[in-house]
Amino acid sequence: MEIQEILRAYEGDLKEVETILDENERSYVDLIPDISGYIIRSGGKRLRPLLLMIASDLCGYGGERRYAIAAAIEFIHTASLLHDDVIDHADTRRGKKAANRVWGNSATVLVGDYLYSRSFKMIIDDGDPRIQSLLSTTTLLMVEGETAQLIATGNLAITEEEYLSIIEKKTALLISAACASGALLADLPDASVNALGAFGRSLGNAFQVTDDILDYMGDEKEFGKAMGMDWKEGKITLPLIRALSACTPKERDRVRALLGTADIAEDDLGEVISLIRTYGGIPYALDRARDILSKGKAFLDGFPEGKAKTALTTLSDYILKRKM
């Protein structure tokens, strides 16, 4: 199965999610749909709603509740992006100006708050205590992860374990929640919920690791993000952590001198990328992502074979191939 086959198979479901997104971003305050629509329709791949549709299919649930829960999860994700761009002083998002550069920080934060609030109203209206508990806990941990990342900015001493803890909270747990929600909607026992959640967590961790790799080798036209943005924001990610563990003290001092330089010269950025490649940071991170995904697939063993399971394993394989 190819990615396009998966998208075609769940195209109708994703259109239903889009309809609910459109309905729930409305407000009598025009600025709210202006900003929320700007980012919601800026080319996001709807990975989390897609995973929820596939997980629901895998678990035998075909009811309409899945559309509202998927939309609520997408709102949580979108709100986190709006807030992240303010925190990071981002210039671009998905290949165009970030919302904070168009409308300013105050408006962007407030619309992010609106989307968080809207998502939780949708979750409360759904009325399932297990889903309410899962998504409220997930959102809490996401904020902890973002805060931990903020504290770790510019810290060359951050360990791989600390890095993995941060990305699990800030990225992987919402992807995990999307997968687990499929089992919750089907009212499956905790063992199935936990297995799908564990698969999603592995997928999300590997997704963020490859995202961080692309910061040093991606194409802005394809990826929607300029190369070296994490570096310029002082974020220490796995390829650099690996290089720093093997480089000389002199090279480490050079990295320290350049880190977080917003207007870093292209030659200096090239020097950092060369250092990462010299010490195998990119293949190391890829191997780490590959190992995470391999272990994650094992959590699907107890689920029935078929289109949905194949779709999940295909998405897992695609994580390593995207835009590289």
Where along the chain do its domains lie?
Answer: 3-318
Instruction: Flag residues of the chain having pLDDT under 70.
Output: 218-227, 260-264, 323-324
Scored b (16 or more CB within 10 A) or e, 33-64 reads bbbbebbbebebebbbbbbbbbbbbbbebeee
CA distance 101 to 184: 39
- Distance CA(147)–CA(140), nearest Å, equals 11
pTM of this structure: 0.94
The tokens describing 10, both together, are 């769940």
pLDDT of 90 reads: 85
Question: First vs last Cα of the chain: how many Å apart?
Answer: 20
Looking at residue 79, its pLDDT comes to 96
**What pLDDT sits at residue 260?**
62
Q: What is the pLDDT of residue 244?
A: 95
Return the CATH architecture of domain 3-318: Orthogonal Bundle (1.10)
Distance, in Å, from the CA atom of 130 to the CA atom of 125, rounded to the nearest integer, reads 13
Which pLDDT value is given to residue 262?
Answer: 60
